[in-house]
Amino acid sequence: MCGRYATSRTPSDLARDFEAGLSDAAAGLVADYNVAPTDTAPLVIGRIDASSPGVPPAREVVAAAWGLVPSWAKDRSIGNRMINARSETVAEKPAFRRAFAARRAVVPADGYYEWYAGQDAGTSKQPKQPFFITDPDRSGLGLAGLYEFWRPTPDADWLLTFTVLTTSAEDAEGRIHDRAPLLVPTTALDEWLAPRPLDGEHWRELLVPATPGRLVAYPVDRAVGNVRNNGPHLVEPVALS
């Protein structure tokens, strides 16, 4: 699963990189090297102009809370369990199928964290070792996501929330984890972000697993395990004892 990640590009950099507009809420976001569930982070979405059929969706960088809350939910806390959506079942699951049909997104990330227990995890009291998984040149990742609008009462403000799509990792042994996020290549942005249903299983060909061989993983400071810790030092490599 993807349960913690880093996103440090400025809102203006994201708007430039994704050729997108910038919402007022997103303009105030700052670098976060330890994004955790329920945190607010940047999200790239697409909007189609109904008066201009055939024109690719206009992209916009918005601010959203991590942990998708379905529109029919009675309590926001359900989002705490909806930080990831399994790609194998996302089109059928009641919590995700409406968002998958028309509200797909890209989650900008420098990389994400996973914790590795090690081969002696059953006998050792040593805490799990966090690893940071990123592209080799650290140019930034675009994680495949979904978003949804929710409000507790008809007169309340709308809350924008999101989830990250995952798939089976290539490593059969489960190192570092047996699940990995899906990435949206630049060439697939327009089709993925278009707010309309995707044909059949074609959408799977658009996305790329964030797995070994494509990305690199290296150990980082265990301080990242505490959500109160933040800063660029969390993504710097450390030596293993």
| pLDDT at position 48 over 90 | no
Length of the chain: 241
pLDDT classification of 176: cutoffs 50, 70, 90: low
Pairing of strands 208-209, 84-86: unpaired
Average pLDDT over every residue of 76-83: 95
Stated pTM of the model: 0.93
Q: Half-sphere exposure of 8 toward its Cβ, with a 13 Å CA cutoff?
A: 16
pLDDT classification of 1: cutoffs 50, 70, 90: low
Q: Tokens in use for 122?
A: 């059953």
How open is the CA angle 212-200-66, to the nearest 5 degrees? 55
Say how far apart CA 229 and CA 36 lie, in whole Å: 11
Note the maximum CA span of the chain. Answer: 64
Q: Which domains does the chain have, with CATH numbers?
A: 5-235 (3.90.1680.10)
DSSP 8-state class, residue 30: -
Quote the pLDDT of residue 177: 72
**Nearest one of 169, 188, 157 to 46, comparing CA atoms:** 188
DSSP 8-state class, residue 225: G
Quote the pLDDT of residue 201: 83
Quote the pLDDT of residue 238: 96
Provide the β-strand partners of residue 180: 167
**Mean pLDDT (the chain, rounded):** 91
Task: Give one DSSP letter per residue of 201-213, joined into a string.
Answer: TTHHHH-EE--BT
For the chain, report the end-to-end CA distance as a whole number of angstroms: 26
Which has the higher per-residue pLDDT, 128 or 234?
234
Residues 83-117: pLDDT tens digits? 999 999 999 999 999 999 999 999 999 999 999 87
Report the 10 Å Cβ neighbour count for 209: 19
pLDDT classification of 197: cutoffs 50, 70, 90: very high
Quote the pLDDT of residue 35: 98
Quote the pLDDT of residue 123: 54
| Contacting residues for 98 by C-beta, under 8 A, at least 6 apart | 70, 71, 148
Average pLDDT over every residue of 141-157: 95
Which has the higher per-residue pLDDT, 49 or 159?
159
| Contacting residues for 229 by C-beta, under 8 A, at least 6 apart | 34, 223
